[in-house]
């Protein structure tokens, strides 16, 4: 049986690793819903993201830097989707964190899974920023879209053959918009 997601649950349906961070702020087009309210929320997000051995206790300053990087990636993703130039401050934010040492993958004792060696939060943010940089200069940069649900505004990669995907997730936004259309008819 599948459990229903609540607003405070983190969203990991983004089609690109770098867009999991902007998804920590929900309902961007309506009344934004913050999922990172305290350092413990950030720790929980990191663990759910797959960094289960995250070693450090986080503080308010960690939340501030995370949200700065998050918003820079959101705005840069929107710029990619619209074909507009990037904001210089956003590029500076993304590039500044990308120079940090990223998490280091290590083979687990089973030889089939990864354990991440994480020097600190900035290393995870570096990994996310580097993924955005790879996307921005790579072949999928023209496939970045913003969810057409006006309440969502989530960023995703349209990998459909026809390039006509409209929603960040069919399970959430797609279903909501279809239900709304049926109610209006």
**DSSP character string of 60-95:** HHHHHHHHHHHHHHHHHHHHHHHTPPPPHHHHHHHH
3-state secondary structure 124-135: HHHHHHHHHHHH
Total residue length of the chain: 185
What was the pLDDT predicted at 167? 76
Mean pLDDT in the chain? 87
Assign 3-state DSSP to the chain and report helix, strand, coil percentages, each to 5.
45, 10, 45
Within-domain flag for 83:
yes
Over residues 52-74, the mean pLDDT reads 90
Within-domain flag for 172:
no
pLDDT confidence tier of residue 152, bands split at 50, 70 and 90: confident
Buried b (16+ CB within 10 A) or exposed e, 15-35: bbbbbbbbbbbbbbeeeeeeb
pLDDT confidence tier of residue 52, bands split at 50, 70 and 90: low
- pLDDT above 90 for 38: yes
**What's the domain count of the chain?**
1
34 vs 54 pLDDT, higher one:
34
Within-domain flag for 3:
no
- pLDDT above 70 for 22: yes
Within-domain flag for 71:
yes
Within-domain flag for 179:
no
- pLDDT above 60 for 4: no
What is the number of other CB atoms lying within 10 angstroms of the CB of residue 5? 13
pTM for the full model?
0.86
Within-domain flag for 106:
yes
Within-domain flag for 108:
yes
Which span out of 8-22, 32-46, 65-79 was modeled with the highest average pLDDT? 65-79
What was the pLDDT predicted at 8? 63
- pLDDT above 70 for 96: yes
Q: What is the percent of the chain with per-residue pLDDT over 70, rounded to a whole number? A: 82
pLDDT confidence tier of residue 1, bands split at 50, 70 and 90: very low
- Tell the residue number behind the tokens 């955005």, with chain if given: 132
Within-domain flag for 152:
no
Domain residue limits at 114: 17-140
């Amino acid at each position: 049986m599948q459990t229903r997601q609540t607003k405070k649950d983190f969203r990991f349906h983004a089609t690109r690793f770098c867009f999991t961070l902007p998804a920590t702020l929900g309902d961007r087009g309506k009344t934004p819903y913050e999922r990172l309210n305290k350092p413990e929320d950030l720790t929980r997000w990191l663990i759910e993201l797959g960094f289960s051995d995250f070693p450090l206790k986080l503080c308010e300053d960690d939340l501030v830097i995370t949200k700065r990087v998050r918003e820079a990636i959101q705005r840069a993703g929107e710029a990619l989707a619209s074909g507009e130039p990037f904001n210089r401050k956003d590029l500076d934010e993304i590039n500044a964190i990308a120079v940090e040492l990223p998490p280091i993958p290590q083979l687990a004792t089973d030889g089939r899974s990864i354990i991440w060696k994480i020097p600190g939060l900035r290393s995870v943010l570096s990994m996310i920023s580097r993924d955005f940089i790879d996307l921005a200069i790579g072949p999928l940069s023209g496939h970045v879209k913003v969810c057409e649900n006006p309440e969502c505004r989530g960023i995703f990669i349209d990998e459909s053959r026809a390039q006509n995907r409209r929603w960040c997730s069919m399970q959430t936004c797609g279903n909501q918009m279809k239900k709304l259309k049926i109610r209006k008819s």
